[in-house]
Every structure is written in C-alpha cells, then in structure tokens.
Amino acid sequence: MVKVTYVAHDGESTTIDAEEGASVMKTAVSNDVDGIVGECGGSMMCATCHCYVDEAWADKVGTRSDDEDDMLEGATSEVTDRSRLSCQIKLTPELDGLVVHLPEDQI
C-alpha cells in the first residue's frame, strides 16, 4: 500500500492507503475524497481532477505532459507550476507519503 494525503482547500487533510499502480484521482474518487471529481474517469479529457503536488514531492512525481498542459488550460482554479491532473499520477512505492493539495473549485 501507498499512503496519499489529500489536503482540501480549507486545510483539512485525509490520508488514504492506496493500491500501488492506482492513480491519485482513482484513489480519491474510490474513497469519497471531496475536491476531486474525475468527471472523465481518468481518460485525460477534463480537468476535474486538478491538484497541486506538494512542493516536497514535486520532483518525485515527474513533469506533466503537453496533453496535461492542454487539459489544465480548462481548469477552473489557478494553474501553477505544481498543477497536475491527478489521473496522470500513478502511485508507486517511491510515492509513499505523497501529499497533494486540492483547489477551491473543480467545476
């Protein structure tokens, strides 16, 4: 299992034991984490799973693809250098303890 902590816009955090290989988005949706919608089911066709990777983890999750950049243009909340589509972050043992921050709005 890989631990992921989701920090809501209001500061409330939820830590989930996730399955290795699952996405950050799928884990959130499966565990009813408020703040990630995942409207397209993880097919990178929307930006409703937008998250901000915690600064301490930014280098470990890798960079976003050009396709992610394109989808993030439609994000409701501000896009920063730490913005990612959570459906594109696959959980590995190296990401155990990952922290992501959720935007104020997704839709």
pLDDT digits (tens, 9 = 90+) for 47-93: 999 999 999 999 999 999 999 999 999 999 999 999 999 999 999 99
Residue 46 has pLDDT above 90, yes or no: yes
Q: How confident is the model at residue 106 (pLDDT cuts 50, 70, 90)?
A: confident
pLDDT digits (tens, 9 = 90+) for 12-24: 999 999 999 999 9
d(CA 93, CA 48): 25
What is the 3-state secondary structure of the chain?
CEEEEEECCCCCEEEEEECCCCEHHHHHHHCCCCCCCCCCCCCCCCCCCEEEECHHHHHHHCCCCHHHHHHHCCCCCCCCCCEEEHHHCECCHHHCCEEEECCCCCC
Residue 7 has pLDDT above 90, yes or no: yes
The domain locations on the chain are: 2-101
CATH annotation of 2-101: 3.10.20.30
